[in-house]
């Protein structure tokens, strides 16, 4: 679409500063990313997509805004990758194999062609890394800051997508990776003294910054999730907030052993330096790890599958009968969850 603009001016028109128009932009930078025949070379109004025989689609859509979900001056490659990866993370948690995506790109008034070229490089790299293709989308001028909207498509054999709602008492609770790093990385971005105050090594400091900048979605775990998990989701709002969401959706209680939550050396350092900051990071979100409930008789298979996939999991608790609550077990007994920093997320 185009043409509909109160100011009667838009990215589609020849710019007085000689920047390329929307068509040239699509042709030069986006069309090379659209290798699927269903994308119709991005020259049509829509894309055509048929799932593989016996499969259905899993669809997710996440929006990101400059200076809300990323810093406007982040490397364009990283912004592109983050926009795609947060969506792939959702698909993996449902046990789906990502296949394609549509991109909505809202450019600020001062967009530059070299920025766009690097943004598309980031997409291209991730398309190779995650085996997905650009299927279609839209490019507009926002009139304000950069806005990105990705709709990602995955597939699962019909009826096998994993919900948040399937957990049953007796299931074990697992998580991938380490928790809290991205939230610590955001604090470090906002506060130049953070790393020093927390006593972080240079490599710990780099680690948390990287984890904020560039999520590592556990796409390779999708098969194991589908094969073994009774319920799963990715952690974006924060470990405790999301565990509570899963408990509610499944109408069970989750008992989470705080001491078992896997930590990077950076988070371990923060936990020694400043407990409230550590606890805020633990539930700070942006982890894009997978939280999964697995029936006990599938646990060893799930653990083995996850190791094989290169996404090892850690058991951090279990599912108990209940009515949708999260219970926290600390070193010295139960912790009152409503006093946990950052838990009142909504």
Q: Per the annotation, where are the binding residues for ATP?
A: 137-138, 164, 236
- Lay out the site mask for a copy of itself across 266-285 (x = CB under 8 A, - = otherwise): ------------------xx
Find the part of the chain contacting a copy of itself (CB under 8 A) among 158-166, 298-306, 311-319, 327-335.
158-166
Which residues make Cβ contacts (< 8 Å) with residue 303, sequence separation at least 6?
312, 313
Q: What angle do CA 221, 226, 232 make, to 5 degrees?
A: 80
- Lay out the site mask for a copy of itself across 221-260 (x = CB under 8 A, - = otherwise): ------------xx-xxx--x---x---x-----------
Please state the closest distance from residue 32 (CB atom) to a copy of itself, in A. 18
Q: Which of 325, 316, 318, 317 is nearest to 253 (CA)?
A: 325
Q: Which of 150, 138, 145, 118 is nearest to 29 (CA)?
A: 118
Find the part of the chain contacting a copy of itself (CB under 8 A) among 54-62, 113-121, 195-203, 251-259.
54-62
Compute the distance between CA of residue 251 and CA of residue 253 in angstroms, rounded to an integer.
Answer: 7
Residues 180-209 that bind a copy of itself (CB under 8 A): 182-183, 186-187, 189-190
34 touching a copy of itself, by CB under 8 A: no
When binding is defined by CB under 8 A, the residue of 31, 32, 64, 223 that contacts a copy of itself is 64
Q: What region does 155 belong to: left with phi over 0, alpha with psi -120 to 50, or beta?
A: beta
Residues 98-117 that bind a copy of itself (CB under 8 A): 102-106
Compute the distance between CA of residue 297 and CA of residue 275 in angstroms, rounded to an integer.
Answer: 36
Question: Are the CB atoms for 96 and 221 separated by under 8 Å?
Answer: no
When binding is defined by CB under 8 A, the residue of 31, 57, 258, 299 that contacts a copy of itself is 57
Annotated binding site: 45, 60, 62, 69, 90, 137-138, 164, 234, 236-237, 286, 343
Q: For the purposes of burial, counting CB atoms within 10 Å of the CB of 295, is it exposed (0-12), middle (13-18) or buried (19 or more)?
A: middle
When binding is defined by CB under 8 A, the residue of 47, 188, 247, 267 that contacts a copy of itself is 47
Residues 12-31 that bind a copy of itself (CB under 8 A): 12-14, 21-24
60 touching a copy of itself, by CB under 8 A: yes
Four-residue CA torsion sign, 163, 169, 174, 179 = positive
Task: Calculate the alpha carbon distances from 161 to 94, 173, 199, 247 in Å.
Answer: 5, 18, 43, 18
Please say which residue, 4 or 297, places its beta carbon nearer to a copy of itself: 4
When binding is defined by CB under 8 A, the residue of 17, 45, 332, 338 that contacts a copy of itself is 45
168 touching a copy of itself, by CB under 8 A: no
When binding is defined by CB under 8 A, the residue of 30, 84, 91, 225 that contacts a copy of itself is 91
Q: For the purposes of burial, counting CB atoms within 10 Å of the CB of 300, is it exposed (0-12), middle (13-18) or buried (19 or more)?
A: exposed
């Amino acid at each position: 679409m185009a043409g509909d603009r109160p100011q009667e001016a838009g990215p589609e028109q020849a710019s007085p500063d000689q920047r390329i128009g929307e068509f040239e932009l699509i042709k030069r930078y986006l069309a090379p990313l659209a290798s699927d025949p269903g994308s119709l070379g991005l020259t049509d109004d829509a894309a055509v997509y048929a799932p593989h025989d016996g499969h259905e689609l899993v669809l997710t859509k996440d929006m990101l805004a400059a200076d809300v979900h990323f810093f406007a001056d982040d490397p364009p490659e990283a912004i592109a990758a983050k926009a795609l990866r947060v969506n792939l993370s959702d698909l993996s948690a449902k046990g789906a194999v990502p296949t394609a995506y549509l991109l909505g790109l809202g450019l600020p008034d001062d967009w530059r062609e070299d920025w766009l070229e690097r943004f598309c490089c980031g997409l291209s790299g991730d398309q190779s890394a995650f085996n997905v293709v650009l299927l279609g989308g839209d490019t507009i001028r926002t009139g304000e800051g950069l806005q990105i909207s990705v709709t990602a498509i995955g597939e699962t054999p019909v009826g096998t997508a994993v919900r948040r709602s399937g957990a049953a008492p007796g299931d074990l609770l697992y998580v991938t990776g380490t928790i809290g790093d991205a939230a610590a990385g955001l604090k470090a971005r906002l506060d130049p003294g953070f790393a020093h105050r927390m006593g972080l090594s240079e490599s710990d400091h780099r680690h948390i910054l990287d984890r904020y900048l560039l999520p590592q979605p556990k796409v390779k775990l999708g098969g194991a999730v589908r094969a073994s998990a009774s319920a799963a989701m990715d952690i974006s709002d924060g470990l405790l907030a999301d565990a509570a969401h899963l408990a509610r959706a499944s109408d069970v209680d989750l008992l989470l052993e705080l001491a078992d939550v896997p930590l990077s050396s950076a988070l371990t350092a923060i936990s020694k330096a400043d407990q409230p900051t550590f606890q805020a990071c633990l539930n700070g979100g942006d982890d894009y790890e997978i939280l999964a409930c697995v029936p006990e008789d599938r646990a060893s298979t799930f653990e083995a599958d996850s190791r094989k996939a290169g996404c090892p999991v850690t058991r951090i608790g279990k599912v108990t009968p209940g009515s949708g609550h999260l219970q926290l077990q600390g070193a010295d007994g139960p912790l009152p969850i409503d006093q946990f920093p950052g838990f009142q997320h909504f």
